[in-house]
């Protein structure tokens, strides 16, 4: 006796009922289309079996709610929000799903006139998650699954003149759910467009265009495969805008519904991501007209590389989910267009649809603007890895039909897009016989493109050797041919951009460019997937896993994009833009005027670009100019001499040659002058002079046993003898420094510290330091007083630390110099592998909110993430020094800082450093950052918190991938810092910072 009878939504062998065969999406279609988007009646249930009797009958639905389509019902207050990376939310028992299976019943009516009924009626759902049954006028019309692909139903026999009724019952869980575990929020509903198509009785059902290019002669050839219904005659034409390139006729009869047309196009403009030239194929059959856009390009493997039009390309890509911070998985054309334009503006040339086919319009935009696409099947069954039976269904022939269906329907829908260069069979689903069968099916449909699947570790079925999150050392081995097979290599995921990161992107790009076999990769990922919330107290923020009480969850692992939820580009996006810039700017040795431009484009020369240059010092531009003619083919270098005038440098002033490579004319994605790449070079070492401190101003010292106070004419510096630190620095009765320097090795952990965080905070207690006073000595010399303090720095229950020697000099002119030397010590064995930082923390008066600095900026930058930053003088309020990450963490660091100031509009505290240091200035403490889950929970401090770092560790991308490189890990070591503090008038910082004093 059968123990459990399969329900329709639990049958892995059933791909659909009544659903039409998959077909391509036409760019234009003369058949009438009527949108069924809008308000539908809606009934939410905890299980399909709880559906009310007759729910599918016309006229039912009295008292139901109303829901908008497209939408996901969790974003409309039904069911609950839940995010997991890997886990299924029910017992792993394929193909069965829970009896408690959240279900939504949708119902609406539509009106058809007699003219409409003369043709066929097709009901099309562009996306329903995860499976659905459809009734029209009370009659079952069909069933479909695969959430991210369309389903079409011919309902001609079910509709009538006048008002018609359509009912859709959507199941949250189905056997298909086992194939859709894709590291994202679990959403349900009709979330893409719904439409009616008035299809002629004689019509073009399908049109697949394969447009190849003979790169040697530049000639294009097209193969047009048509499927029609009805007998009749038709015409075809190949157009370049309005120019006719080729044309012909065809005929259909009962025995010939499939027609192949070949067309020789002669010399054509090739399609590449750099030159996205599109042509049109127009088909007319018995009055039904469709248009397909196409581009001539040939994709093949040559000499160990995959090539486009005979040229090996480098993919500078990003992974892209469909996402909206207010609508979940519902996206609009305008949002998709904004995404594509922003990618192009940031030098991105490829995207991977992760991990499912995207909304149709994305491919149209990639065709038009120029992005290479890896189109990925709606397939990931990552949860099986968790139960240590990863190949459970991937290697089970019972699931072959489901696997092949996912791949084949994707290929059929998206076949006509020249931007697609690879079909990906899925993601993180192990490997087995079902992937072999999927690859065979895809190749039989489309031998013109390559097959990708990272889970095929040996590339048995795939054409590409794909890896993810490969560490640099292993990547080099792959590049040298020491690892893996000898197929072309792509990193389908790397640079995990979770929170503050990713770092080391430049190192990856250098390796990609170094080895012929390595053909780039795709950053994970484009968006932070947080959802906008405004709570009862008015706090606005973005929620992530666990924010809705969902358990288990993967927390903020979904907050891992180059764009924040509100589309604010993260600092990592600017960094990536510069790292992958197709023009590299190099300084040549010689006169100082010569630079070299390396052309990293695969196809284009540099004639569409120009160079803007200027000489800067401090906040001024001394001279500027433009070079209009750039000549360098792909892979070539052109040398330029910058024609600036000789000048005598001002003393104690740095001069920089700044280079910006820009668009000479406007492009489809950016205006004229848009910057493609940038470079900066120190032009002249400045002439350094120093003066003596002003003498003759006597200082007085007071010692009450606890405080040692040095008083000048208008200044007062107080030291705490017991605690061994500078207590405060006051000028004209106003306190500027409210707590003096103390050594620290702690930063609020970033997401990329997640695998070190527990050790740092719970084993080595780096957030719980203690600096013990060992000596306090003074030397009074009239117009200067020296205060020497020795401390022992360590952390709770640790045997490692530093012996610190502070040497303060208080001058009669009101300035204070601090020289700090730290000697490393270790009296045991246990210690962190590396430290977040070695530096000092001090506090300034909270009124000092106007910040300026001379160093790298404007955006935050770190040791392994500073390609987009330039040296200069920058200004901001203190709040503007922070980056408001969705999940609070260390942020706002600036490297190579030589001076900074903090002012209140009248006076400023100026701090000048003897050697470049790292700088953070915030209105909150590291501890507050560590504790907060959301930005509004960060507690404002009573002071401005300043960090000056001797060294600060890089970012890495170890939340999922590469640790910080060794060069960017701060090891326990001796260190030294030296800086001078003084109070100046507002606006005097640049001039005053140039004054160098002799000791």
Over its C-alpha atoms, the chain yields an Rg (Å, rounded) of 33
Q: Which residues are known to be catalytic?
A: 428, 493
* Residue written as token pair 């267009």: 337
pLDDT tens digit sequence for 896-951: 999 999 999 999 999 999 999 999 999 999 999 999 999 999 999 999 999 999 99
What percentage of residues in the chain have a pLDDT greater than 90? 94
- What is the rounded average pLDDT of the residues 848-864? 98
pLDDT tens digit sequence for 568-608: 999 999 999 999 999 999 987 766 789 999 999 999 999 99
- What is the rounded average pLDDT of the residues 28-51? 97
- What is the rounded average pLDDT of the residues 428-435? 98
pLDDT tens digit sequence for 35-46: 999 999 999 999
Distance CA 639, CA 681 (A): 15
**Sheet containing 675-684, strands listed edge to edge, beginning at the edge strand earlier in sequence:** 620-627, 609-617, 655-663, 675-684
Model pLDDT, residue 591 = 65
Q: Dihedral of the CA atoms 940, 942, 946, 952 (nearest 10)?
A: -50
Mean pLDDT of all residues in the chain? 97
Kindly tell me if the per-residue pLDDT of 648 is higher than 90. no
Model pLDDT, residue 410 = 99
pLDDT tens digit sequence for 169-227: 999 999 999 999 999 999 999 999 999 999 999 999 999 999 999 999 999 999 999 99
Per DSSP, 980 falls in state: E
Per the DSSP assignment, residues forming a β-bridge with 700 are 711
Model pLDDT, residue 693 = 74
Kindly tell me if the per-residue pLDDT of 102 is higher than 70. yes
Would you mind telling me the total number of residues written for the chain in this entry? Answer: 999
Model pLDDT, residue 808 = 98
Do the Cβ atoms of 169 and 132 come closer than 8 Å? yes
Distance CA 28, CA 257 (A): 21
Model pLDDT, residue 688 = 74
Question: Residue 886 — very low, low, confident or very high, per pLDDT cuts 50/70/90?
Answer: very high
E strand or H helix at 740, and its extent?
A: strand 734-744
The number of helix segments (H) and strand segments (E) in the chain equals: 12, 63
- What is the rounded average pLDDT of the residues 130-146? 99
Query: b or e along 102-119 (b: 16 or more beta carbons within 10 Å of the residue's beta carbon)?
Result: bbbbbbbbeebeeebeeb
* Residue written as token pair 């006073």: 773
Kindly tell me if the per-residue pLDDT of 416 is higher than 70. yes
281 phi and psi angles, rounded to 5 deg: -105, 120
**Residue 468 token pair:** 């993810």
pLDDT tens digit sequence for 255-295: 778 999 999 999 999 999 999 999 999 999 999 999 999 99
pLDDT tens digit sequence for 68-90: 999 999 999 999 999 999 999 99
Kindly tell me if the per-residue pLDDT of 696 is higher than 70. no
Omega before 870 within 30 of 0, i.e. cis: no
Model pLDDT, residue 998 = 74
Q: Dihedral of the CA atoms 32, 38, 43, 44 (nearest 10)?
A: 110
Please provide the DSSP assignment of 187-242 as one string: --EE-S-EEEEEE-SSEEEEEEEEEEEETTTTEEEEEEEEEEESSEEEEEEEEETT
All domains of the chain in start order, with CATH: 8-199 (2.60.120.260), 203-296 (2.60.40.10), 301-528+558-578 (3.20.20.80), 582-684 (2.60.40.10), 695-998 (2.70.98.10)
Kindly tell me if the per-residue pLDDT of 117 is higher than 70. yes
Do the Cβ atoms of 401 and 388 come closer than 8 Å? no
**Residue 119 token pair:** 């043709």
Model pLDDT, residue 685 = 63
Distance CA 89, CA 726 (A): 56
**Residue 263 token pair:** 């067309």
Exposed, middle or buried by CB within 10 Å (0-12, 13-18, 19+), for 635?
exposed
Question: Residue 1 — very low, low, confident or very high, per pLDDT cuts 50/70/90?
Answer: low
| Lowest-confidence pick of 181-190, 619-628, 694-703, 717-726 | 694-703
Residue, of 322 and 650, whose pLDDT is higher: 322
| Lowest-confidence pick of 58-67, 665-674, 680-689, 890-899 | 680-689
Exposed, middle or buried by CB within 10 Å (0-12, 13-18, 19+), for 998?
exposed
* Residue written as token pair 């300026």: 852
pLDDT tens digit sequence for 748-766: 999 999 999 999 999 999 9
Model pLDDT, residue 782 = 84
Kindly tell me if the per-residue pLDDT of 684 is higher than 80. no
Distance CA 944, CA 716 (A): 20
DSSP SS3 for 652:
coil
């Amino acid at each position: 006796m059968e123990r459990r009878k399969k329900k329709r939504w639990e049958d892995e062998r059933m791909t659909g009922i009544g659903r039409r065969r998959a077909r391509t999406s036409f760019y234009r279609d003369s058949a009438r289309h009527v949108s069924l988007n809008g308000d539908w009646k809606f009934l939410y249930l905890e299980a399909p079996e709880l559906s009310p009797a007759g729910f599918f009958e016309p006229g039912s639905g009295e008292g139901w709610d109303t829901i908008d389509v497209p939408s996901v019902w969790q974003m409309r207050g039904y069911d609950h929000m839940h995010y997991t990376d890997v886990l299924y939310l029910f017992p792993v028992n394929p193909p069965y799903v829970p009896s408690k299976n959240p279900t939504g019943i949708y119902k609406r009516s539509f009106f058809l006139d007699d003219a409409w009924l003369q043709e066929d009626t097709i009901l099309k759902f562009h996306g329903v998650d995860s499976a659905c049954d459809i009734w029209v006028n009370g009659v079952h019309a069909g069933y479909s699954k695969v959430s991210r692909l369309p389903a079409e139903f011919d309902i001609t026999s079910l509709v009538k003149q006048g008002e018609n009724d359509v009912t859709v019952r959507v199941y949250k869980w189905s056997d298909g759910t086992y194939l859709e575990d894709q590291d994202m929020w679990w959403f349900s509903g009709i979330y893409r467009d719904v439409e009616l198509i008035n299809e002629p009785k004689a019509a073009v059902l399908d049109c697949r265009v394969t447009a190849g290019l003979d790169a040697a002669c530049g000639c294009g050839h097209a193969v047009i495969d048509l499927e029609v219904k009805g007998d009749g005659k038709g015409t075809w034409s190949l157009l370049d805008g309005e120019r006719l390139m080729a044309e012909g006729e065809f005929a259909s009869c009962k025995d010939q519904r499939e027609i192949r047309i070949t067309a020789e196009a002669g010399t054509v403009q090739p399609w590449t991501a750099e030159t996205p030239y599109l042509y049109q194929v127009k088909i007319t059959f018995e009055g039904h007209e469709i248009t397909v856009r196409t581009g001539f390009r040939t994709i093949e493997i040559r000499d160990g590389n995959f090539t486009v039009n005979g040229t090996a390309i480098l993919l500078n890509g990003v992974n892209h989910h469909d996402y909206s911070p207010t609508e979940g998985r519902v996206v609009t054309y305008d949002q998709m267009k904004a995404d594509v334009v922003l990618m192009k503006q940031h030098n991105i040339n490829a995207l991977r649809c992760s991990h499912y086919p995207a909304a149709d319009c994305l491919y149209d935009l990639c065709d038009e603007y120029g992005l290479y696409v890896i189109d990925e099947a709606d397939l990931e069954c990552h949860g099986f890895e968790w139960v240590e039976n990863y190949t459970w269904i991937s290697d089970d022939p019972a699931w072959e039909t489901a696997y092949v269906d996912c791949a084949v329907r994707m290929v059929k829908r998206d076949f006509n897009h020249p931007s697609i260069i690879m079909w990906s069979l899925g993601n993180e689903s192990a490997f087995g016989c079902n992937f072999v069968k999927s690859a065979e099916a895809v190749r039989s449909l489309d031998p013109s493109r390559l097959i990708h699947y990272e889970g095929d570790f040996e590339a048995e079925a795939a054409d590409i050797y794909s890896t993810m999150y490969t560490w640099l050392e292993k990547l080099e081995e792959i590049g040298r041919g020491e690892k893996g097979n000898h197929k072309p290599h792509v990193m389908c995921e790397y640079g995990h951009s979770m929170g503050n990161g990713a770092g080391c992107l430049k190192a990856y790009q250098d390796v990609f460019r170094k080895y012929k076999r390595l053909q780039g990769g795709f950053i994970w990922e484009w968006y932070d997937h947080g959802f906008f919330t405004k709570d009862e107290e008015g706090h606005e923020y973005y929620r992530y896993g666990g924010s809705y009480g969902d358990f288990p969850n993967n927390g903020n692992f979904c907050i891992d994009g180059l764009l924040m939820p509100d589309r604010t580009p993260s600092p990592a996006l600017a960094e990536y833009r510069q790292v992958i810039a197709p023009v590299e700017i190099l300084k040549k040795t010689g006169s100082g005027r010569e630079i070299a431009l390396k052309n990293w484009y695969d196809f284009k020369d540099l004639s569409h670009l120009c160079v803007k240059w200027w000489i800067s010092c401090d906040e001024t531009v001394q001279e500027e100019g433009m070079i209009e003619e750039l000549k360098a083919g792909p892979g070539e270098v052109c040398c330029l001499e910058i024609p600036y005038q000789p000048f005598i440098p001002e003393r104690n002033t740095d001069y920089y040659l700044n280079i910006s490579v820009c668009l000479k004319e406007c492009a489809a994605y950016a205006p004229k002058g848009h910057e493609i790449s940038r470079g900066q070079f120190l032009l002249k070492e400045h002439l350094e002079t120093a003066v003596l401190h002003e003498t003759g101003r006597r200082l007085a010292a007071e010692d009450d046993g606890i405080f040692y106070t040095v008083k000048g004419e208008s200044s007062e510096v107080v030291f705490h003898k017991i605690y061994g630190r500078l207590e405060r620095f006051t000028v004209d009765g106003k306190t500027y420094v409210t707590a003096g320097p103390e050594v620290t090795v702690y930063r609020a952990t970033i997401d990329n510290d997640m695998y070190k965080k527990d050790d740092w905070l719970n084993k080595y207690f780096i957030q719980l330091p203690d600096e013990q006073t060992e000596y306090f000595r003074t030397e009074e010399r009239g117009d200067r007083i020296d205060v020497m303090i020795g401390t022992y720095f360590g952390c709770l229950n640790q045997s490692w630390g530093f012996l610190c020697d502070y040497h303060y000099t208080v001058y009669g002119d009101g300035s204070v110099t601090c020289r700090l030397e730290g000697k490393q010590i270790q009296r045991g064995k246990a210690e962190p592998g590396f430290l977040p930082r070695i530096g000092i923390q001090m506090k300034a008066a909270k009124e000092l909110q106007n910040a300026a600095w001379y160093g790298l900026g404007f955006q935050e930058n770190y040791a392994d993430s500073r390609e987009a930053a330039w040296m200069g003088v920058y200004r901001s309020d203190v709040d503007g020094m922070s980056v408001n990450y969705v999940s609070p963490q260390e942020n706002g660091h600036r490297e190579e800082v030589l001076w900074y100031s903090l002012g209140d509009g009248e006076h400023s505290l100026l701090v000048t450093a003897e050697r470049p240091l790292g700088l953070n200035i915030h209105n909150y403490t590291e501890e507050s950052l560590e504790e907060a889950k959301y930005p509004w929970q960060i507690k404002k401090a009573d002071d401005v918190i300043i960090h000056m770092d001797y060294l600060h560790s890089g970012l890495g991308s170890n939340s999922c991938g590469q640790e910080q490189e060794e060069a960017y890990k701060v090891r326990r070591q001796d260190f030294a810092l030296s800086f001078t503090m003084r109070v100046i008038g507002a606006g005097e910082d640049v001039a005053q910072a140039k004054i160098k004093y002799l000791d």
